[in-house]
Chains A and B, each alone.
Chain A
Amino acid sequence: MSQTETAIRNCREEFPRVVDAVDRFAAEHRLSQGVVGDMQVALDEILTNIVDYGYTDHADHEIRIRLRVIDNVLEAAIEDDGFPFNPLESHAPDVSAQLSERRAGGLGIHFVKNLMTEIIYDRVGNRNLLVLRKNLTT
């Protein structure tokens, strides 16, 4: 199977299902532990952002995660109907502040930008479509 899709509700309790889906997909495609770790971290950050900041209506929403390997690239496409959020436009956190002034905000997106080879964002209708790509050779 070259592609797999997982749909979760917008709550953190659902995240382990995505972690498991990535693990299964990685095993099927014999992906390296480094590549899988980077994608797991990136997905944890993106899904956390969607669940924490994407909605204010307290209703259930579906988030879809599609994984595939194409042209020696591991790709995760995340689709949600939350508020428009383009991670590429978020500002880098101050990673040089001392402990007392240090905040963890913004760190997750900073990780995603640095761990992934390529990030593509699109707003299609009322949906965010984010594509994360990781080269399998790096």
Chain B
Amino acid sequence: MDLNEEQAGGVTVLQVMGRIDSTTAPVLGERLTAMVGAAGARVVVDFSQLDYISSAGFRILLLAAKRADQTTSKLVLCGVSGKVRQLFDLGGFLDLFTIAHTREEGIAAAG
């Protein structure tokens, strides 16, 4: 898993590339929880270059979403397609997170 962070008009975009599994999920969790831990943070997580995500990754996303609620931060996901979308669907997560189609739409939704 590789992470790439960019700023776009007050919104932080975190691109996650490769695989989220029980080995890599803690690294993502640390970064994401810190990002949404600041009050009123606006974060987009781009999964368009992600191969797959296991339950360890969803556990991290659930924690980040709950943390974002506490800090009135906005957490938007984008690029959820193919295999990754299938896993979101299996876990019933498509309605649980704010999911935008493209990165641009994600930035608009978070901003």
Contacts and interface: CB of A to CB of B under 8 A. Distances in A.
A30 B21 CA distance: 23
Contacts of A33: 51, 83
B68 to A, nearest CB: 10
A40 B21 contact: yes
Nearest to A114: B90
Contacts of B93: 95
Interface in B54-108: 54-56, 58-59, 62, 65-66, 69, 83, 87, 90-93, 96
Contacts of B69: 99
B52 A37 contact: yes
A44 B65 contact: no
B62 A104 contact: yes
Contact of B90 (A16, A102, A111): A111
B90 A110 contact: yes
Nearest to B21: A44
A22 B92 CA distance: 28
A45 B62 contact: no
Interface residues of B, number: 23
A41 B56 CA distance: 10
Contacts of A119: none
A102 B65 CA distance: 11
Nearest to A113: B90
Among A16, A44, A96, A114, the one with the most B-chain Cβ atoms within 10 Å of its Cβ is A44
A2 interface: no
A73 B28 CA distance: 33
A100 interface: yes
A31 interface: no
Contacts of A34: 83
Given A48-B56, A102-B62, A104-B62, A111 B87 contact: yes
Contact of B92 (A16, A47, A95): A95
Given A37-B51, A111-B54, A111-B91, 12 more contacts: A19-B21, A40-B19, A40-B52, A41-B54, A44-B54, A95-B91, A95-B93, A99-B62, A104-B59, A107-B55, A110-B90, A110-B91
11 contacts: A38-B83, A40-B19, A40-B52, A41-B53, A44-B54, A95-B93, A96-B92, A99-B69, A107-B55, A108-B54, A111-B54
